[in-house]
Structure 1
Amino acid sequence: MRRLLAVLLCLWAGPPAWAANQVVVRDFHWKIASTEHFDIHYYDESAPLVGFAAKTLERSYQRLSAGLLFKFKERRPFFLYASVNDMQQSNIVEIGDGTGGVTEPFKDRFMVFNDGSRQWLDEVASHELTHVFQYGVLLSGFWKSARILKTLIYPLWMMEGMAEYFTRDIDHTPGEVLLRDAATSGGLLPLWKLEHFSHLKPHQVRLAYESGGSALEFLEGEFGGGKIEKMLKLFESHFETSSVLQQLTGLDIFAFDKKWREWLEARFRRVARLERLQEPSAYGLQLTRPSSRDLPEQNSSPVFTPDGKHMAYLSTREGFPPVLMLRDMATGRSRRLLDTETRVETLDLGRFADLSRVLAVSPDGRRLAYFGKKNHRDLLCLFDLKTGRLERRELPGLSGALEPAFSPDGRSIAFSGMKDAVSDLYLYDLEGRSIRQLNADPQDDQSPAYSPDGRSLVFSSEVETPEDPLPYQRRLVLLDLASGSLRTLSSQRGSARDPVFSPDGLRVLFALQKEGFNEIHELELTSGRVQRLTRSIGAAYTPVYCAGGDAIAFSSQRAGSVHIYMGPRARFLSETVEEGLPSAVKRSTAAPALTLERPYKPSYSTDLFLPAFFYSSNGGLFWTSYWQGSDMLGNHTATGLLTYASGEGYLDYQAYYAYGRWRPKLLVGARGFLYNQHLKSSGYTTDQSAHAQGLYVSYPLDRFNSVSAGVENRTDYEDYNDSDYRMRHDVRLGVLAYQRDTVKGRYLVATRGSRLRLAYEDSPRVLGGNYLYRIFTGEAQQFVPTGGQSALAFRAFGAQSYGPNTPEYPLGGIGRLRGYSSGDYVGSRVAMGTAEWRVPVWENIDYYMWYMFPDFYFKQVALAVFSDTGYSWSSDDQLSSSRVGHLKNSVGVGLRIHTFILQLAQLVLSFDFARPTTERGGAFYFYFGPLF
């Protein structure tokens, strides 16, 4: 019975432990406008984008329908968000950092956010629409729920690669850069290791997307047209990639992968030779060094203090979000500027996957400016380099901000801001705290930089070029601050980004993205001549003048990582660039017909229904089924699980309803079981039942902190027929909890941050309650990095219970004091702590057991050395008479084997041996996952 009560105590645990919080800060009043094939959902802020989105979607529909030979039988719901801050509040699916768009199979919904760029909206919407087509082919037919389960085995390199393949004509340069870098540095990812992407190292997911697109290009080019469409349809009836490829090419996945990589490596070796591409070290010395041998990282956006003694930059050496670093140029040492990121939840390396200059140093060298996010609002952050103080400033009226630039007098900051779904330039007055809009046009305006005299700004502005093979490009534009007049500085084809003036004001340095290359260029303002300064085998980003204009620092992609380099101007090229005329192409620019807007009305439907049953003459009927339903916006979600076994006399049920429209998250539900059992040993028949109903609410304070509260009614009943034994417990429970989680890790394991959970439970004698207790619990965890992926991990846990029915806590066992039995040293109050050092001993196994099902992908083996200490007691007298020698302690060692199942679900196999220091004995343990 005690075990049953323990299970029921956990029945209503509130939100999942140690999960990032979703914060909703606004309500969305959705409207719908329809085209022939889409229901476009939008709200007031995203309304200006509806016409463009409709044109883009219908144009992409025609291309995909022709390529995949599939047509929609009904319109698909599309959700258009005005900004990333808005989309991250969606309840349709969970949206994390680094997500640009999402497609889900339950209701064929897909969504994207606007970042100001038409190219972005076109590319991401078309990418997600490809997934809608894929689901249309693969999931249509009888019993969609079962087909949805099958999506777990579709190779992600094909699914995401197909989306990249069908959008490559919008802009293939970012993908070309990644593939060329990987192919020329031995970094291509084998396709058979890309069934899913969860196991990939940092910064490898984008490469995986592009690898899939390249593999499909190879498939189509080497084995004949129409193979992509056939491949997708073959997966309707196949479960394994090799069997599909055998029918298409006569090759299994391993042979196909080998031929694809040979083809790609040969192609890029030729490109590197013909284009005379060079390593970044040809132009300067590498200033940032890798923090790990095996994990890629990005270091970008270098900016220098006016005296040239320090360089600030962003780095992902500790994982995401990136951290601010400061390098002493004399000693070469770098240090982290901020010890905690809780005041600012995240900051961006640029515009999604495009690295850009996002840091600025004040003219006096005192302050560092950047934009960060907190509760889905962008903030201007000013970091004092001398005192270490961080100041945050609100930006009322704007839905986004990026790329700051100090004025030469240090009194204001120019930046790219978003309002009404359009990015323009704004000026922030540091003393008056006011914001002034500098220009107003429909183009996406980015990366402002001041001229040395402070009279003008140069920035990057997007233009649509529908008759060019590059349908979207970016031009350098000069804004005169006195008159407000605009002048285009150069009409070079491609996308010119991150301009910066030379100290003498005569030149502009910028990065140009065009036709597979991302290179540094320089514009002479007097003559209008443009020179190419680099020929990168990878790519060059975020250039900046330093050393009085005699040197250039830049970020460069090479061997999977991005590092910062600096060299004298004389080491760079000076190739004059001619403005070539492209061959004309024809694209549809006609606007599709749109219905009149109509308000969104809630509609509900089933997401999943998964029944399973069998019958035998001995065991009777066994039935289990899971059901899930929701509305179109995901604000209302209901789930149910039912299990029945007639032969065992057993019935188990669960039903939950969650409401998530507002910031407080509401959960109501019921759960219970009925069990009728005949005990052969005694001849008795026992009836057992447990029923619980509860209401819980969780309120996220921000991404890291939340409070929750709940009430629950529970009844436990046990009756032995033909005897006098009857038991009924009625529990009326209230729960309060606080949770904080700032833990982060670069890959596989937690290495930095802390967690805290405090909870109070009270089951009083109210409303017929007869099972009485009070419980206080607290748990704290702290992770201290010790280099690379190693860390010191500390855990403290305490619990104190009171009342006539107070539960007791065992001191020993897994999750407590290892080395002691779980039945020893039980008390109503307990305090314990763990110190554990975790260090990889085989950091990069990379062994994939593809030949078995389910497969295991072994990634790392780590050693753990630990010590557990604790004490349990049941009265104040027992505690007051205790001594240090009464503490129980154990020491031990363990192994943590990190693996993935189906390349999707992470699984940690843990082996421990612990030995008590206060008595004889010892114990071996095997369990899944780290204990904390």
Structure 2
Amino acid sequence: MKKTLITSLLLLTLACAFSEAQETYFGKNKVRYKDFDWSYIQTRHFDVHFYEDAYPTAKFAAAVLESAYVEINRELNYLIQRRVPIFVYNSHNDFQQTNIISSLIPEGVGGFTEAFKNRIVIPFSGSYEDFRHVLHHELTHAVTFDLLYGNALSSLISRQRLFILPLWFAEGYAEYSSRHGWDYFSDMYVRDATINNYLAPPWSLGGFLAYKQGQAMVKFIAEKYGEEKLGAILRKGKVHLTMNKALKEAIGIDEKKLWEEFSKEMKRRYWPEIAVRKEVAEVAQQLTHSREDGSYFNEKPEFSPDGGRLAIFTDKSDYTEIVLISADDGKVIDRLVKGERSADLESLHWYVSGISFSPDGRSLVFVAKSGGKDAILFYDLSRKKVYKKKKLDFYNILSPSWSPDGKKIALSALKGHKRDLFIYFIESDSIEQLTDDRYDDSDPSWLPNSNQLVFVSDRPHPENPIFDPGENAYVGKGAYMPGDLEYGYYNLFRIDLLDPKVTPLNVGPGANTSPAVSPDGEKVAFISNRNGIDNIYIGYLDSVVYYAVTDILTSVGWVSWSPDGQKIAFSAFNKGGFDIFV
């Protein structure tokens, strides 16, 4: 397919959480639901634009950008020649309405850098760590564009030839810099690709693998040939106009030789793990098969109250859907909700939000973008229709969880510049705020008494490491906020609705996420990366006892208990896709 230079430059900038998840949206034209009254703050190098009550978010962005610019300047030895405008949207729903580009923006896109005016556009999701990462990622594109093209529009008009930076290096360097070299999420992708033999030569790399394998390749170059060679490659490319010549001039080898060296190094690093860890199919029954049916994700399994079914998200039909599958063999029982085909179901937020059954098993609750805003949707399983849609005054809504007594829904919502926990009372149609602070609170899971919740937060925790912002400010999922706010290192906490005091759970070190309280209320299953890979652990709520359930080669993404407490359903990244296991 032919691509214009403009399209090529734009595509290089997209920072997608999961760009392989191809999503189709209703309609052909971008819909704008609101007007934005912009203000801005200036720093030495940036103009950070914001609107409404987002000054704290803009102030955070400004500090992150200046800090990231120091790192990028050190890596590339380059000073930008013009100020960079930054546009911060309060939510992804608002971000999708931007008129800075005319293209429709899929849910997976976490930000972009528009090349010709070198503008960075990014939404705030509620996670300061995600926000920091994407700001830094996109700034690398802005600096790289400035280095390579300067006034790209003038160059295009004058028909000068330009060096089109390969996707693997453009996104690989952006991830390398913004992740401070490496992170366990990237490790998951490259490990799986190496063990399952789908690493690709750099000249044919595409999709999300270009981000993660590209990051590994840039890291390989920096470690073997020196980090200063990254800037040298860009400068040589600007002169010689091809990546092969740029590599040859900068580090003495071409892409083919780089591929040979890199692939051998990955095999040396990851193949030994096969002997010490298990394949996921060796420890659990696989219920979905993404490699066989053409899907990319099968995610967020939730056991029905009778234990015989699982509600999941899947993209098997090329659209995101909610389907019921058998908990015994994975056969599809019913296709319930078809997303991305109407204004009422623009997006189902499958990557960041789950599904919950009513205690009687007759209904589901989930979140969807509807008419430009998120809404809580109640779905009748027998009538196969949404019977209630509740819109609330939030920028976004995530993780609805139906209480065991059937009277309320716990949820996580972004309001202003912070994401907190809320309780929606069904009968009175009222909402109550449960947490109210600057930390990122999400994924609530009820105890059987319907008065207590376990949830995830990046608030301070006794198990969290101490971060030194003067040294390496990124450890695993942790980071340090400009100023005095520790953030980004997630752990488990408990809160009581009758006395909303937050207390930490003692479930061990690592980034601990995705809690699921057992049916008897004594234990919590969760995911931890304490051994370098996201695996399932179980901890006792009223003690410091915890233990590992799995030790698999690739990462687990979500957990759900069976009603009898004998099984755990989970999603796992496996052979390039996400599948459901029990």
Aligned residues: 531
Q: Partner residue of 1:161?
A: 172
Q: Partner residue of 2:396?
A: 400
Q: CA deviation at 1:152?
A: 7.5
SS in 2 for 1:414: strand
Q: Partner residue of 1:261?
A: 263
SS in 2 for 1:405: strand
> Aligned equivalents of 1:501 and 1:491: distance in 2?
13
Among 35, 47, 51, the residue aligned to 1:43: 51
Q: Partner residue of 1:75?
A: 83
Q: Partner residue of 2:361?
A: 365
**C-alpha contact 2:163 2:237 (8 A) present in aligned 1:** no
> Aligned equivalents of 2:529 and 2:158: distance in 1?
41
For residues 24-173 of structure 1, the aligned pairs below 5 Å read: 24-93=32-101, 94=103, 95-140=105-150, 143-145=154-156, 153-169=164-180, 172-173=183-184
> Aligned equivalents of 2:163 and 2:106: distance in 1?
20
Among 228, 244, 247, the residue aligned to 2:246: 244
Q: 1:255 to 1:296 in 2, by over 3 A?
A: farther
**C-alpha contact 2:176 2:182 (8 A) present in aligned 1:** no
Q: 1:244 to 1:73 in 2, by over 3 A?
A: closer
Q: CA deviation at 1:390?
A: 1.4
> Aligned equivalents of 2:126 and 2:181: distance in 1?
16
For residues 519-534 of structure 1, the aligned pairs below 5 Å read: 519-534=535-550
> Aligned equivalents of 1:80 and 1:170: distance in 2?
26
Is 1:490 matched up with 2:501? no
Question: Which letter does structure 1 place at the counterpart of 2:416?
Answer: D
Q: Could you tell me the TM-score, scaled by structure 2's length?
A: 0.87
Q: Partner residue of 1:535?
A: 551
Question: Which letter does structure 1 place at the counterpart of 2:493?
Answer: V
Among 429, 434, 441, the residue aligned to 2:425: 429
Q: Partner residue of 1:388?
A: 384
For residues 213-228 of structure 1, the aligned pairs below 5 Å read: 213-228=215-230
Q: CA deviation at 1:432?
A: 2.4
Provide structure 2 residue ranges, at least 5 long, that are not aligned to the other structure: 1-25, 461-465, 480-487
Name the one with the larger strand percent.
1
Higher RCO (Cα < 8 Å, 6 or more apart)? 2
Q: Partner residue of 2:449?
A: 453
Question: Which letter does structure 1 place at the counterpart of 2:537?
Answer: H
Q: 1:46 to 1:392 in 2, by over 3 A?
A: farther
Q: CA deviation at 1:271?
A: 4.1
Deviations 1:819-876 (CA, angstroms, capped at 9, x unpaired): xxxxxxxxxxxxxxxxxxxxxxxxxxxxxxxxxxxxxxxxxxxxxxxxxxxxxxxxxx
> Aligned equivalents of 2:292 and 2:375: distance in 1?
32
Is 1:285 matched up with 2:282? no
Q: Partner residue of 1:410?
A: 406
- List structure 1 segments (4+ residues) > 6 angstroms apart after TM superposition: none
> Aligned equivalents of 2:401 and 2:424: distance in 1?
10
SS in 2 for 1:418: strand
SS in 2 for 1:134: helix
SS in 1 for 2:489: strand
Deviations 1:465-518 (CA, angstroms, capped at 9, x unpaired): 533733221111101110111101137443221111111111111112357411
Among 497, 502, 517, the residue aligned to 2:518: 502
> Aligned equivalents of 2:86 and 2:559: distance in 1?
38
Q: Partner residue of 1:181?
A: 192
Q: 1:162 to 1:515 in 2, by over 3 A?
A: farther
Q: CA deviation at 1:223?
A: 2.3
SS in 2 for 1:216: helix
More displaced stretch, 144-153 vs 465-474: 144-153
> Aligned equivalents of 2:493 and 2:86: distance in 1?
34
Q: 1:149 to 1:302 in 2, by over 3 A?
A: farther
**C-alpha contact 1:296 1:560 (8 A) present in aligned 2:** no
Q: CA deviation at 1:188?
A: 1.0
> Aligned equivalents of 2:429 and 2:454: distance in 1?
23
Q: CA deviation at 1:33?
A: 0.5
Q: Partner residue of 1:325?
A: 323
Q: Partner residue of 2:574?
A: 558
**C-alpha contact 2:400 2:411 (8 A) present in aligned 1:** yes
Q: CA deviation at 1:247?
A: 1.7
Q: CA deviation at 1:365?
A: 0.3
**C-alpha contact 1:138 1:147 (8 A) present in aligned 2:** no
Q: CA deviation at 1:291?
A: 6.7
**C-alpha contact 1:474 1:496 (8 A) present in aligned 2:** yes
Deviations 1:607-661 (CA, angstroms, capped at 9, x unpaired): xxxxxxxxxxxxxxxxxxxxxxxxxxxxxxxxxxxxxxxxxxxxxxxxxxxxxxx
Q: CA deviation at 1:244?
A: 1.4
Question: Which letter does structure 2 place at the counterpart of 1:233?
Answer: R
Among 175, 179, 201, the residue aligned to 1:190: 201
Q: 1:249 to 1:515 in 2, by over 3 A?
A: farther
> Aligned equivalents of 1:254 and 1:549: distance in 2?
52
Q: Partner residue of 1:480?
A: 496
For residues 586-665 of structure 1, the aligned pairs below 5 Å read: none
**C-alpha contact 1:473 1:493 (8 A) present in aligned 2:** no
**C-alpha contact 2:507 2:539 (8 A) present in aligned 1:** no
> Aligned equivalents of 2:91 and 2:389: distance in 1?
20
Name the one with the larger helix percent.
2
Deviations 1:343-400 (CA, angstroms, capped at 9, x unpaired): 311111223xxxxx51111100011111001232101111111110113423231110
**C-alpha contact 2:377 2:386 (8 A) present in aligned 1:** yes
Q: 1:494 to 1:112 in 2, by over 3 A?
A: farther
Question: Which letter does structure 1 place at the counterpart of 2:211?
Answer: Y
**C-alpha contact 2:411 2:423 (8 A) present in aligned 1:** yes
Deviations 1:242-295 (CA, angstroms, capped at 9, x unpaired): 11122233332122112211211221113444xx221112221111133736x4
> Aligned equivalents of 2:75 and 2:431: distance in 1?
48
> Aligned equivalents of 2:158 and 2:315: distance in 1?
38
Deviations 1:517-538 (CA, angstroms, capped at 9, x unpaired): 1111111122222222211211
> Aligned equivalents of 1:141 and 1:366: distance in 2?
60
> Aligned equivalents of 1:256 and 1:242: distance in 2?
10
SS in 1 for 2:80: coil
What CA RMSD, in Å, does the superposition of the two structures yield over aligned residues? 2.2
Q: CA deviation at 1:447?
A: 0.1
Question: Which letter does structure 2 place at the counterpart of 1:109?
Answer: R
Q: Could you tell me the TM-score, scaled by structure 1's length?
A: 0.55
> Aligned equivalents of 2:546 and 2:368: distance in 1?
34
Q: CA deviation at 1:73?
A: 3.3
SS in 2 for 1:266: helix
Question: Which letter does structure 2 place at the counterpart of 1:111?
Answer: V
**C-alpha contact 1:105 1:148 (8 A) present in aligned 2:** no
> Aligned equivalents of 1:149 and 1:511: distance in 2?
52
